[in-house]
């Protein structure tokens, strides 16, 4: 089983003490193959080591998490680590290709569980991220901006995540498989990603940027 | 008045006044030039115009070199005095019929300056002074215009209005500038705290083996994040009271409470906030006492189905043992404290739970 192999991780954060702290928290199921102290360095290290998972601080010198998610979001799974969910860049980072985020104060066991799931393809969707995404889709539908709206089922799933239900609980309540719930969440992320891309393109066209 | 350095707002206002001075002087000069055949005492007219020009030039020169001087008593009084002289001299310069009035617009620049520097009251005093000068000046010219009283009164009204508006606008601009700089300072503090203190607290929680230290760091971390969220959020009422309820739960029970609030919620009325916060507190207390879980999510979003458009949906979900809703009777806390509060504001409550799947209390407020 491939999933039993240790997850190859790159940790990017401008505080060395933080990197060493996370490294010791990750334990034996994770293999830290590279570290970086800023955005550019992180992108280089990720390209060299091709890790399964990247843990990336949102605020770093030289680009930060947003740049890393934009550059590497398609080749590996990028999880944002942040000190506060009130950061405006968070939704941008997730729209740009990060598969989720965790608060830096998340206890070690929860951190390990969530990262293990992230490494195996599950989006790390905390309630507050789900709330951010729901708000974003409400904004789009209110502004009647062209963009992909959520289906009724996707909205329902996202609302359950925001309310703190696990995928398993959501599946039971909506009478669908847990895997289907995960697929819904992935589709929501894809729509968010697409909408943001279209918005950027529209902005560029409206402002005459090629 | 002291010669403190001028704030950016005042500097831009004085730049605007300099433009007003030149425009109004030009206007008066054109008026004089096209009415030379009506002049009775041309020399006085030219003299007054020269005086106004001298001040206009002086004020323009001071603007880049010594702008603080423009905001001092001597300069403002001098300008107002020149304005008053022009208004007084009006009748003497023309004496009989004339199509133009020499100077009415130029003195308003001095009024604006007075309003900006000394406030509305002194500007109104100066406006009354100019109005008296205008009445006297027009009165001297009685033979010329039959309706001089009307003309002087309308000028008086205009001056007083100018004084009021100048004082008011200057005050509001200064207030706005203060607010902006306060907001900027707060944002800088927020960035500092983010990059420094919160990071440190996160490291402490991660690295320390001392549970008390970890708990302390966790509390501080939460308080600080609440503070940062509160300082930027437009809805401190609901957010603050739900966070306070969550903090109480964390202090009393060995668990974490995550508060998630959609940021497009319309701030509810005070009685709704009080009822919802009370109900959430009670639901959290129930979770702490009975659920056996260690994590609760409090979630609030706009209720899009509500007819009022300001409806609110709140859920309180724990990860505890849950219970069978069919067989377990409502606890007293549930019936009295949660339902009674929400009923009182015309909302409704639902409880969903199954053994092994935690409990969720759902509230809808109108």
DSSP letter string over A72-99? HTTTSEEEEEES-TT-THHHHHHHHT--
| Distance, first Cα to last Cα, chain A | 47
pLDDT of residue B10: 79
Q: Is A156 on the interface with B (CB under 8 A)?
A: no
Mean pLDDT of B243-265: 86
| Rounded Cα distance, B320 and B288, in Å | 9
Q: Is B357 on the interface with A (CB under 8 A)?
A: yes
Mean pLDDT of B25-37: 82
Q: Is B358 on the interface with A (CB under 8 A)?
A: yes
| Rounded Cα distance, A29 and B305, in Å | 46
pLDDT of residue B234: 44
Q: What is the pLDDT of residues B38-49, one digit of tens each?
A: 777 777 788 888
pLDDT of residue B2: 44
pTM above 0.80, yes or no: no
ipTM associated with this complex: 0.78
Q: Is B258 on the interface with A (CB under 8 A)?
A: yes
pLDDT tier, B297 (very low <50, low <70, confident <90, very high otherwise): very high
pLDDT tier, B1 (very low <50, low <70, confident <90, very high otherwise): very low
Mean pLDDT of B287-314: 85
Note whether B100 and B34 are within 8 A (CB): yes
Checking if the pLDDT of A88 tops 70, the result is no
| Rounded Cα distance, A202 and A200, in Å | 5
Distance from CA of A108 to the nearest CA of B (A): 7
Checking if the pLDDT of B285 tops 70, the result is yes
Checking if the pLDDT of B340 tops 80, the result is yes
Contacting B residues, span 193-252, partner chain A, CB-CB under 8 Å: 194-195, 198-199, 201-203, 205-207, 218, 221, 225, 228-229, 232
Note whether A122 and A182 are within 8 A (CB): yes
Checking if the pLDDT of B313 tops 90, the result is yes
Share of chain B above pLDDT 90, in %: 13
| Rounded Cα distance, B49 and B82, in Å | 10
pLDDT of residue A41: 93
Checking if the pLDDT of B229 tops 70, the result is no
Cβ contact A86–B358 (<8 Å): no
More confident position, B351 or A203: B351
Checking if the pLDDT of B279 tops 60, the result is yes
Closest Cβ–Cβ partner in B232, B258, B263 for A127: B258
Average pLDDT taken over every residue of chain A: 84
Mean pLDDT of A62-70: 86
Q: What is the pLDDT of residues A108-120, one digit of tens each?
A: 888 898 899 888 8
Note whether B94 and B116 are within 8 A (CB): no
Q: What is the pLDDT of residues A151-183, one digit of tens each?
A: 999 999 999 999 999 888 999 989 999 989 988
Q: What is the pLDDT of residues B115-158, one digit of tens each?
A: 888 888 899 999 999 998 888 887 776 555 556 677 778 888 88
Average pLDDT taken over every residue of chain B: 82
Chain A positions in Cβ-Cβ contact with residue B287 (cut-off 8 Å): none
pLDDT tier, B167 (very low <50, low <70, confident <90, very high otherwise): confident
Cβ pairs A/B, distance under 8 A: 91
Q: What is the pLDDT of residues B60-119, one digit of tens each?
A: 998 888 888 888 889 899 999 998 888 888 777 776 655 556 667 888 889 988 988 888
Checking if the pLDDT of A210 tops 60, the result is no
pLDDT of residue B239: 84
Mean pLDDT of B302-317: 83
Share of chain A above pLDDT 70, in %: 92
CA dist list (Å): A17 to A35, A110, B195, B342: 12, 20, 14, 48
pLDDT of residue A125: 78
| Rounded Cα distance, B277 and B187, in Å | 28
In this structure, the dihedral spanned by the alpha carbons of residues B69, B74, B77 and B80, taken in order and rounded to 10 degrees, is: -50
Mean pLDDT of B13-29: 89
Which CATH architecture best describes the domain B235-365?
Answer: 2-Layer Sandwich (3.30)
Domain map (residue ranges) of chain B: 8-179, 235-365
Mean pLDDT of B275-288: 90
Cβ contact A163–B315 (<8 Å): yes
Q: What is the pLDDT of residues A24-42, one digit of tens each?
A: 888 888 999 999 999 999 9
Note whether B364 and B311 are within 8 A (CB): yes
Distance from CA of A91 to the nearest CA of B (A): 13
Chain A positions in Cβ-Cβ contact with residue B258 (cut-off 8 Å): 126-128, 164
More confident position, B138 or B241: B241
Note whether B60 and B22 are within 8 A (CB): yes
pLDDT tier, A1 (very low <50, low <70, confident <90, very high otherwise): very low
pLDDT of residue A154: 92
pLDDT tier, B176 (very low <50, low <70, confident <90, very high otherwise): confident
Note whether A127 and B257 are within 8 A (CB): no
* CB proximity list for B29: less than 8 A, separation 6 or greater: B49
Q: Which of A168, A167, A126, A121 is nearest to A7 (CA)?
A: A121
pLDDT tier, A8 (very low <50, low <70, confident <90, very high otherwise): very high
Q: Is B262 on the interface with A (CB under 8 A)?
A: yes
Domains detected in chain A: 2-123 (3.40.50.2300), 129-206 (1.10.10)
Note whether B204 and B213 are within 8 A (CB): yes
Contacting B residues, span 106-145, partner chain A, CB-CB under 8 Å: none
């Amino acid at each position: 089983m491939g999933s039993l192999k240790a997850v190859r991780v790159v940790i990017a954060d401008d505080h060395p003490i933080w990197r060493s702290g996370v490294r010791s928290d990750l334990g034996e199921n994770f293999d830290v193959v590279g570290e970086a102290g800023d955005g550019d360095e992180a992108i280089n290290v990720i390209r060299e080591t091709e890790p399964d998972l990247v843990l990336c601080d949102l605020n770093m010198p030289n680009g930060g998490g947003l740049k890393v998610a934009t550059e590497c979001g398609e080749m590996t799974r990028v999880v944002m680590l942040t000190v506060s969910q009130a950061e405006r860049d968070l939704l941008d980072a997730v729209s740009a290709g990060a598969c989720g985020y965790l608060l830096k104060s998340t206890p070690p066991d929860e951190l390990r569980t969530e990262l293990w799931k992230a490494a195996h393809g599950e989006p790390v969707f905390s309630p507050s991220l789900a709330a951010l995404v729901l708000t974003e889709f409400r904004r789009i539908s209110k502004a009647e901006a062209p963009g992909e709206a959520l289906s009724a089922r996707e909205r329902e799933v996202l609302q359950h995540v925001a309310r703190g239900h696990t995928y398993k609980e959501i599946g039971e309540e909506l009478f669908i498989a847990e895997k289907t719930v995960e697929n819904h969440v992935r589709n929501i992320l894809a729509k968010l990603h697409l909408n943001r891309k279209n918005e950027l393109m529209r902005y560029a066209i409206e402002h005459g940027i090629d | 008045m002291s010669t403190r350095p001028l704030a950016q707002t005042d500097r831009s206002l004085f730049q605007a006044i300099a433009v007003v001075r030149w425009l109004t002087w030009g206007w008066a000069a054109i008026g004089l030039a096209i009415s030379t055949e009506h002049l009775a005492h041309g020399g006085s007219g030219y003299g007054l115009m020269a005086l106004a020009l001298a001040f206009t030039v002086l004020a323009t020169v001071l603007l880049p070199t010594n702008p603080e001087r423009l905001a001092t008593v001597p300069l403002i009084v001098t300008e107002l005095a020149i304005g008053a002289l022009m208004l007084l001299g009006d009748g003497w310069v023309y004496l009989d019929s004339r199509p133009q009035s020499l100077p009415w617009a130029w003195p308003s620049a001095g009024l604006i300056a007075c309003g900006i520097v000394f406030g509305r009251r002194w500007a109104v005093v100066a406006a009354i002074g100019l109005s008296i000068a205008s009445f006297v000046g027009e009165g001297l010219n009685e033979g010329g215009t039959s309706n001089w009283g009307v003309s002087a009164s309308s000028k008086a009204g205009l001056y007083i209005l100018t004084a009021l508006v100048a004082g008011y606008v200057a005050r509001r601009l200064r207030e706005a500038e203060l607010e902006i700089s306060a907001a900027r300072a707060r944002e800088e503090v927020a960035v500092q705290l983010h990059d420094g203190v919160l990071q440190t607290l996160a490291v402490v929680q991660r690295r320390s083996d001392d549970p008390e230290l970890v708990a302390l760091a966790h509390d501080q971390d939460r308080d600080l994040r609440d503070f940062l969220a509160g300082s930027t959020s437009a809805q401190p009422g609901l957010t603050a009271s739900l966070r306070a309820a969550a903090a109480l739960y964390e202090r009393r029970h060995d668990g974490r409470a995550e508060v998630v609030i959609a940021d497009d919620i319309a701030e509810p009325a005070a009685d709704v906030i009080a009822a919802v916060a009370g109900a959430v507190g009670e639901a959290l207390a129930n979770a702490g006492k009975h659920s056996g879980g260690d994590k609760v999510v409090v979630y609030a979003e706009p209720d899009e189905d509500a007819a009022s458009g300001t409806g609110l949906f709140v859920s309180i979900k724990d990860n505890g043992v849950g219970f069978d809703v069919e067989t377990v009777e409502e606890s007293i806390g549930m019936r009295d404290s949660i339902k009674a509060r929400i009923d009182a504001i015309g909302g409704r409550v639902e409880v969903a739970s199954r053994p092994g799947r935690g409990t969720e209390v759902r509230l809808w407020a109108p």
